[in-house]
Amino acid sequence: QVQLVESGGGLVQPGGSLRLSCAASGSFFRLYAMGWYRQAPGKLRELVAGITNGGGTNYADSVKGRFTISRDNAKNTVYLQMNSLKPEDTAVYYCSQGKDSFSSRDPAYWGQGTQVTVSS
């Protein structure tokens, strides 16, 4: 069983930045794709960014150019740097671990989520 623990959420003004972190338990973090999802009230959970075990990345169109996903395999940690935040980025953000090295979709494990609120 893998445990994922997110941190770094909070309240930020429009145009501001936040960095989310997700620490994973276990010895095989480096083998799996990781992802960040978000879910706003009344909306479906959506994939925001994914990263393969080799560092290849993909992003939702709504965050391209503003968000950056990265990973540190030595620390078993994945990050989401969020810049130029907008009110529509407000959501609970979830870290996830994929079932293989490539895909962030259909995750095997989820974190508990961290709230990000963008408001003036």
Q: What is the pLDDT of residues 49-61, one digit of tens each?
A: 999 999 999 999 9
DSSP summary character for residue 26 = S
At residue 38 the predicted structure's pLDDT band, cuts being 50, 70 and 90, is very high
- Using the structure block, give the residue that is written with the tokens 């909306």: 43
Phi/psi at 30 (5° precision)? -65, -15
Q: Is the pLDDT of residue 106 over 90?
A: no
- Strands lying side by side in the sheet with 18-24: 4-7, 18-24, 77-82, 67-72
Q: Indicate the average pLDDT of the chain.
A: 96
Output the CA torsion sign for 29, 7, 107, 46. negative
The two three-digit tokens of residue 56, written as one number: 């290849």
With contact defined as beta carbons under 8 Å apart, do 36 and 95 qualify?
Answer: yes
Which H or E run contains 58?
A: strand 57-59
